[in-house]
Amino acid sequence: MYWVAGLFAAVLVAFSNRYGYHRDELYFLAAGRHPAWGYADQPPLTPLVARAMAAIDPESLPLLRAPAVLAATLVVVCAGLMAGEFGGGRAARGLAAAAVASAALVQGAGHLLSTAVFDLAAWSVLGLLLLRLLRYPARPGPGAKSVTVARYAGPVAVADPAVVESADALIVAESAVDGAAIDLRADPRWWLAIGLVAGLGLLNKSLLIFPAAALVVALLVGGPRKVLATRYFPAAVGLAAVLWLPYLWWQARNGWPQWDVGRAIAGGSSGTSDSPIMFVLLQFGLMGPLLTPLWIYVLWRLWREPRYRAFPVAYGLLFVVFLLTGGKAYYLGGMYPILLAAGAAPLAALLGRRRGRWAAACAVVTVNAIGSAVLFLPVLPVSSLPGSPALAVNYDAGETIGWPEIVRRIGSVRADLGRDVAVLTANYGEAGAIERFGAPYDLPTPHSGHNAYWWWGPPPDTATEVLTVGIERDELAELCAVVEPAGRIDNGLGIDNDEQGEPLFVCRGPRVPWHELWARAKHLG
């Protein structure tokens, strides 16, 4: 298991410096320079991570992405540990880790600093902690002498389990699985760890509230309800709420802009927004199509196990909620490492000691890993990307290419206009790129009405000329008396991404001072 995680991390590090920054990484760096308890579209954790990495070396892209590599590697390790909780031995743990490491979502998320990779890690840790709570299937009554623990390695007879006097008692039983002694403990104090992880996860991405709530509802509906019957459960909820509270306070003070961002994403404003049919179809690609039969089988298998029924129930709830609310396909991605870990134990038992079967299973995982890497890691040379399947399948690949060239073009245009010309961009990617690469061209700190940049303020009222990036003429005509074309953006690589061909204009004579115009410039998405 651990050697799989090490190899996975080494691959991510080896490719961490290819292509370039993603637009979101540039945005996180900018947000980190404006520390706050919240932003229009996210809590504060990921921008703080970006700020910390930039404080060490502001020029290093591999260093910026190092926390993402660690988070993705944690997902791989958790998969192996979860396979052990499901009853798997060493082989099953290694198989689970390898399957998750081969997944498209895990590789793609681990390559970029983003809220998604930390969210994925939080899901995996929460899944592992919940399995610790589910170790013992039922509370034996007074005088009980034995109980059978259903595990995927086969039913295991446990002799003389401890008699439980209260829901908070520590339950201990010992047996043997795969020839090794194990210690089955259902300690309700794990709820405190769950509350801590959930609270930190919510400071990274508010989306975590959905799986957390879904798992609680699933435990109430599908059981075992006994794990909720402890004072540590409300303590965990309180701990998570206290950690999340500063972000909620910021949102409340600023009119809950996260709701507007969510509605915009559901309406398709994001480059990775999905239609309902694509949401469904992409579920078969998140882990790789070759692994789809395994997790589909596991959903059925877990449904038949009362101790683990909460997982398929939670999956169904989340599937319906995200589908109906216009969520992105990867929003459901945190469930799949849990499902693959659950499938590794019975699959390893089926493979047994037959080398031929293991060779076939390893070949499937290897092919899945290579396919994921080619599509979701910067494996291909940039020159081969235009028109390639990689760019068509992986939208984010195009968003990591061409930013220095774009900023060079903006700098060239502004140099002909004068040092007093401000810069106004259509989105946070353009603005973040100017902040990162604009110093050699003497570019000023840019302004934008997009998401958190709007909160950071308008151009000064003394700016009678503004160079605009990516904003259409019709929109600018409402802001300025004179709008003159100044060319178009060209990344110089023939990559058809969101910025290629976007217009540059010079906006002269603002109709009213910029601080009065700024309310019209605000757009969330």
Question: How is the chain split into domains, by residue range?
Answer: 2-135+189-376, 403-521
At 87-123, the pLDDT tens digits run: 999 999 999 999 999 999 999 999 999 999 999 999 9
Tell me the whole-structure pTM to 2 decimals. Answer: 0.87
Distance between the two ends of the chain, CA-based, in angstroms? 40
pLDDT for residue 181 is more than 90: no
- Rounded to whole angstroms, the Cα distance separating 467 from 344 reads 56
Give whole-number Cα distances, 260 to 42, 188, 251, 488, 524, in Å: 12, 38, 11, 30, 6
State residue 272's pLDDT score: 60
State residue 389's pLDDT score: 82
Mean pLDDT of 454-463: 93
Q: Note every long-range contact of 150-154, with CB atoms under 8 Å and residues 24 or more positions apart, other chains counting.
A: 150/305, 150/307, 151/86, 151/87, 151/177, 151/345, 152/86, 152/87, 152/88, 152/342, 152/345, 152/346, 152/349, 153/87, 153/88, 153/89, 153/92, 153/177, 153/178, 153/345, 153/349, 154/87, 154/349
Strand partners for 485: 505
Mean pLDDT of 324-340: 92
Higher pLDDT pick, 428 / 270: 428
Contact 307, 137 (CB under 8 A): yes
Share of the chain above pLDDT 90, in %: 68
Longest dimension (CA), the chain: 89
Quickly count: other Cβ atoms within 10 Å of residue 216's Cβ. Answer: 15
Please give the structure tokens belonging to residue 484: 């003159």
Look up residue 38 and give its DSSP letter: -
State residue 271's pLDDT score: 58
State residue 391's pLDDT score: 83
Higher pLDDT pick, 276 / 274: 276
φ, ψ dihedrals at 308, nearest 5°: -115, 10
pLDDT for residue 59 is more than 90: yes
Please give the structure tokens belonging to residue 378: 């910067």
C-alpha closest to that of 334 among 347, 346, 322 = 322
- Rounded to whole angstroms, the Cα distance separating 99 from 363 reads 11
Lowest-confidence range among 125-129, 322-326, 455-459?
322-326
pLDDT for residue 456 is more than 80: yes
pLDDT for residue 167 is more than 80: no
Confidence of residue 176 (pLDDT cuts 50, 70, 90): very low
- Rounded to whole angstroms, the Cα distance separating 168 from 188 reads 6
Confidence of residue 143 (pLDDT cuts 50, 70, 90): very low
State residue 81's pLDDT score: 96
Look up residue 450 and give its DSSP letter: B
pLDDT for residue 165 is more than 50: no
pLDDT for residue 156 is more than 80: no
- Rounded to whole angstroms, the Cα distance separating 78 from 72 reads 10
Confidence of residue 20 (pLDDT cuts 50, 70, 90): very high
Contact 258, 251 (CB under 8 A): yes
